[in-house]
A and B are shown apart, each in its own frame.
Chain A
Amino acid sequence: MSSSTASAVSDLAATRGSSASTGDRIFAGLCKGAGIFVLILLGAIIVELFIGGWPAFRTFGLSFVWGANWDPVAEEFGAIVPIYGTIITSILALLLAVPVAFGIAYFLTEISPMPLRRPVGTAVELLAAVPSIIYGMWGFFVIVPLMAQYIQPAVIDSAGELPLIGWLFAGPPFGTGIFTAALILAIMIIPFISATMRDVFQTVPPVFKESAYGLGCTRWEVMWNIVIPYTRKSVVGGIMLGLGRALGETLAVTFVIGNANRIATSLFGPGNTIASLVALEFGEAEAGSLKLSALLALGFILFVLSFIVLAVSRVLLRPRAGQ
């Protein structure tokens, strides 16, 4: 059933008759051409973003990447604040999402009674289907007031007073900010990570688990000592996939991040991600202006970041597909 057998069989077919080979040549050419087109597409995206951002790179040089000043009035642009925001919200989102996703995967593969598995599994996957603008609106109209009125004041009053880590929770309870954005992102990536984990957990050969149960292991011990070590690489790959998604999320973050061009020390402070900055400021950037070019340069940086994360995730995930 592997593709090598398939092509061996079909190559046999290809050796017959000249009329067959014309049709075959055309079709094969079409397929291969489409494949090359996809390669060219990615190349074109990288190139176009770079060309668009070139004026900004040229003006500020490499210091654009770590410049801390984003001042549209003075036409000075530096990318470190949105880059920092992108990375920190995504990593926070992972910290929040991975335990929950793992819990869901564990529940669905080991604990849940059979009749519940499909509906609950489908419901969790439907979370992934909800468009991101819905997350943004729901986040702003439902989560933000909750944060502003109950959660943030409570945390600021309690944890904010602690000596060493109090500064992490300081500031007025706007409700929006880095933590809220990370929370919304976490909810968005939970289904991706949990779906990957579920698929991967189910590839563990039953005999391993059965032997462990035979020795008297509890369900959790089987998960912790057998399943996770077996699937560790793919689990990390799935987590990186979730990270890749979180890096590029635009609409969900735009509503709740607060668009501040400074790095706030507090988790409840406002920030910026690359995607939300581009979305918010695009309308007021004229074509040909340095600001538009700075936004496109930011897009290029985001692409590089996503590319690295997604490539690593793929390397970790793919071997499983060949099994």
Chain B
Amino acid sequence: MNRLTSLLGAAVASLALFASAASAQQITGAGATFPNPIYQKWGEAAQKANGIQLNYQSVGSGAGLTQARNRTVDFGASDAPMAAAQLEEHKLLQFPTVMGSLVAIVNIPGVADNQLKMTGELLAEIYLGKITKWNDPKLVEMNRGVALPNLAIAPVYRADGSGTTFVWVSYLSAVSPEWKSTVGVGTSVKWPSGTGARGNEGVAGTVRNTRGAIGYVENAYAIQNKLVSTQLRNKAGNFVSPSHETFLAAADNADWSVPNFAANLVDQPGAKSWPIVSPTFILLPKDPKDATRAVNVMKFFDWAFTNGTKLAEELEYIPLPKAVQDAVRASWKTQIKGPDGRPVM
């Protein structure tokens, strides 16, 4: 019995030691699923670089906003930009951190990677259930030279509410007035047709398994798993393939001068722009109770802007243009005020 007690005591003591070590320089965040992998990577690297330990929960933008509002985390993360009124009401500063892109993936026998040409309008019609066969005249006309079979189209979407869906339907709404009026934009919507699958893996798996399926996934995933993606026609009328070049072109052409950095990068002008690019946002309380933690959050993202570019690109994210990063830093200096009313940084 004595040995047991001393063993238990040792276990408790070592756990306590762990606990105290863990709380040093820790910042907590919660929200968006889209940037979760890169935030985790940055967190790991930042801890080695400047000792700031990030604890990020990718619980979904909705839950993240709730936690940011209730100040139960140091920052919230959202794939969708918040309305200005909401930001005012909850005293949150919104800034972007990184951008990601979506691609459409297909499973059509005989069609190779980046061979199929699509437009946003056609995608919308497919997901609305109006185009139901791959050899529909509209698709055939766009793809002369590709043998499109007489196969039913099986649209696949994300079953779980997510930022990925938000970006996808933002694009569909931008290019299709009918989509905008019937279905609209949100992290989860009322899909008129098709089937849902859980997570990126679910969508990719279902597309892989179903002949004639079409789905949307984060670009990182498509590349890493060598999925068959499609070209898209951008606003300038050119068919572009998903690549680093086309993503950056979209980012460069974006108009960041909008309030709260809520730039809409979907369907950007520019000869080479990829149409489905979107930033993801951080929500930082403007009146943090603990100034040190707020400073640590800003230090973390500052480090990420300066040193985290390579990591982001490895995971197929698109770093923010330098001008935007500087504008974000400026907003930290002016907007985040400590309990004494003075700027924290």
Contact = CB atoms under 8 A, between A and B. Distances in A.
A70 interface: yes
Contacts of A255: 198, 202
Interface in B50-68: 59-63, 65-66
Interface string B194-211: 111110001001100111
A293 interface: no
A284 B162 contact: yes
A71 B160 CA distance: 14
B191 A260 contact: yes
A174 B61 contact: no
B195 A270 contact: yes
B217 to A, nearest CB: 16
A308 to B, nearest CB: 28
A269 B152 CA distance: 14
A261 B190 contact: yes
A280 B160 contact: yes
B66 A174 contact: no
Taking chain A's interface residues, is the majority helix, strand, or loop, or is none over half, making it mixed?
loop
A176 B188 contact: no
Interface residues of A, number: 39
A282 B161 CA distance: 8
A144 B209 contact: yes
Interface in B34-90: 59-63, 65-66, 70
A80 to B, nearest CB: 14
Interface string A275-288: 00000111111111
A286 B66 contact: yes
Interface of A: 69-74, 140-141, 144-145, 148-149, 172-177, 254-255, 257-262, 269-270, 280-289, 291
Given A72-B187, A283-B62, 17 more contacts: A73-B184, A140-B198, A141-B205, A144-B209, A148-B210, A176-B195, A258-B159, A259-B195, A260-B194, A261-B191, A270-B194, A280-B160, A280-B161, A281-B188, A285-B62, A286-B62, A286-B65
20 contacts: A72-B186, A72-B190, A144-B209, A149-B209, A172-B154, A173-B211, A176-B197, A177-B195, A258-B159, A259-B196, A259-B197, A259-B198, A270-B194, A270-B196, A280-B160, A281-B161, A282-B63, A283-B63, A284-B187, A288-B66
**Which 10 residue pairs of A and B lie closest in terms of their CB atoms, listed nearest first?**
A283-B60, A284-B161, A259-B159, A259-B196, A172-B154, A148-B209, A270-B195, A73-B184, A258-B195, A284-B62
